[in-house]
Chains A and B, each alone.
Chain A
Amino acid sequence: MSLAAEAFVSQIAAAEPWPENATLYQPLKDDQILLSDCASSLAVQTYLRMCGLPVQVACKANAEYMSPSGKVPFVHVGNHVVSELGPIVQFTKAKGHSLSDGLDDVQRAEMKAYMELVHNMLLTAELYVQWCDDSTATEISRPRYSSPYSWPLNHILAYQKQWDVRRKMKAIGWGGKTLEQVYEDVSQCCQALSQRLGTQPYFFNKHPTELDALVFGHLFTILTTQLTSSELAERIRRCSNLLAFCKHIEHTYFKDKST
């Protein structure tokens, strides 16, 4: 069944195979990229590696503005430009590459729910720490974010971004939270992930899914990124199976890179 159905769904996209020159765009790796963008980018890269789809990583200072949704990372494949993990997963699926085909309905529902959990809590917490914690914003986020720009544009853009994020936090009800509450949320989120993972190698047993890519992207980035306070990483380190999970994925999919 799957062959006929898939061919119908993805007639057009499947007509073009995944090209060799597919490119992933993200902000400048050394000077500019921030924790949250780096995590999202790593998640997409991990996902594409899990699918066995080659992609080149291009660092552009204006990646955020190049993206059709204003969010990084995005991939440029053939004539298509797709941003963020969710749409990219759908896009690869249309081309016949999927990691979640083996799951049953309930598992797929759970996978989606946990992906939203990561978006809703981990990503939001990363944004909060980056832009709403004054010391992090002053020492890391603003200077890094604005590093490609010259004076006075660097200040304008950095404060504009900070203002935008803070407004967003206020709108989703995070405005009144303290840093400690946010760390507590991260702990809660990690415990939930840790519970769900248990002792399995991947969230859904033996095979990786997009959820594994997403969780690895965020956790690994938080663990390896130096912030003003290591509290965020500490909260993750309390869940030992998540640490093992990160090591395992790094070893399986990024071995060539680290050696």
Chain B
Amino acid sequence: MSAPDELFCWEGDWGLPSVDTDCLTILAYAKFAGAPLKVHKISNPWRSPSGSLPALRTSKGEVLSRPSDIIIHLRKQKYNADYDLSAREGADTLAFTSLLEEKLLPALMYTFWMECKNYVEVTRRWYAEHMPFPLSLFLPGRMQAGQLERLSLARGHNALEAGEELEKELYHDAVECMNLLSQRLGANKFFFGDSPSSLDAFVFGHLAPLLKAKLPNGKLQQQLKSLDNLTHFCSNILLLYFPTDGRENLSHKASSQAEGGDFDHVPNKRRKQILSALVAVGAMLAYALFTGILSIQHVHQRAIESSPGLPADEEEEEEED
């Protein structure tokens, strides 16, 4: 047997194996299909072979990054969670995946990346805290710009402004979508009977972050929590397929609740202090360097001017330095 495929995905938090929708989808699918992936949970997208997360490096060295491509690849490796589905159910999978992508995803992007309070207090904070230092300064902003562009392009010509109008439209679509999913799921354990399929992975990937993240502005979250079968569906998958992450969640519950309640909690404060100290030191260093360069040039110039007279002295000075 060749080496197993390697999956690079975002780290987990909030009791989830990963915070990212696409990563969650793939992780869940891999679990459902029983695919033996070597999972690297990282928080530096630059360490991924494709430069973005998720990414799958196959045993042949190929790199895939679209979730649907990765799932197709796994399916070809005979890790197929949809093996038992009828053709009709396969068609439904395709249709409901489209529904998620068209109706729910834009609202999720809005909730996590455009809604200011959520972005600043949860999304940006999480990514900035987990990324290594210089990346954390600009990568969250770039990720946001990417999401914004995608959202505005998907919605066509209209100028995109984070206004009530847009929020209302997106949330209306998303709530409709969640209701439809809830109706489709009914009292079933999974969408197609008792065993999970790729559709379950997709739905889980989209809903779980919304369910578990502690969003200050939780309009959409409230809507999801009111749909009992969907919340149960998500926690069930977490319990059955990601028991370690779930338990982690339990053990961290006390501290995380404290986190949620108090925004000036200590670790973050310290981080901020360190960051500000770093910035200050950096600025000082830069200034020192800047002025230093100037003075060095100055000295150097004078040195050149005086060098014809006193070549020996110059050398001595340099050696001393």
B98 near A121 (CB under 8 angstroms)? yes
| B261 CB, nearest partner CB in chain A, Å | 38
A120 near B98 (CB under 8 angstroms)? yes
B95 near A192 (CB under 8 angstroms)? yes
In the complex, which residues of chain B have a beta carbon less than 8 angstroms from the beta carbon of A117? 94-95, 98-99
The chain B residue with its CB closest to the CB of A114 is: B95
| A199 CB, nearest partner CB in chain B, Å | 12
Q: Which of B70-106 contact A (CB under 8 A)?
A: 87-88, 90-92, 94-96, 98-99, 101-103
B183 near A106 (CB under 8 angstroms)? yes
- Complex CA gap A173/B64 in Å reads 12
In the complex, which residues of chain A have a beta carbon less than 8 angstroms from the beta carbon of B103? 116
4 tightest CB-CB pairs across the interface, nearest first?
A: A70-B157, A192-B91, A120-B98, A109-B180
- Complex CA gap A192/B95 in Å reads 8
Show the binding face of B for A, using Cβ within 8 Å. Answer: 66, 87-88, 90-92, 94-96, 98-99, 101-103, 149-150, 153-154, 156-158, 176-177, 180-181, 183-184, 186
In the complex, which residues of chain B have a beta carbon less than 8 angstroms from the beta carbon of A112? 99, 176-177, 180
Greatest chain B CB density within 10 A among A70, A112, A195 is at A112
A69 near B153 (CB under 8 angstroms)? no
A171 near B149 (CB under 8 angstroms)? yes
In the complex, which residues of chain A have a beta carbon less than 8 angstroms from the beta carbon of B87? 191, 195
The chain A residue with its CB closest to the CB of B182 is: A109
Q: A9 interface residue, CB < 8 Å from B?
A: no
| A120 CB, nearest partner CB in chain B, Å | 4
Q: A189 interface residue, CB < 8 Å from B?
A: yes
In the complex, which residues of chain B have a beta carbon less than 8 angstroms from the beta carbon of A120? 98, 101-102
Which single member of B88, B96, B154, B157 contacts A172 (CB below 8 Å)? B154
B183 near A108 (CB under 8 angstroms)? yes
For the complex with contacts A108-B183, A112-B177, A191-B87, 16 further pairs of A-B residues with Cβ separation under 8 Å are: A108-B180, A109-B180, A110-B95, A110-B184, A113-B95, A117-B94, A120-B102, A121-B94, A171-B149, A171-B150, A188-B94, A191-B91, A192-B90, A193-B91, A195-B90, A196-B92
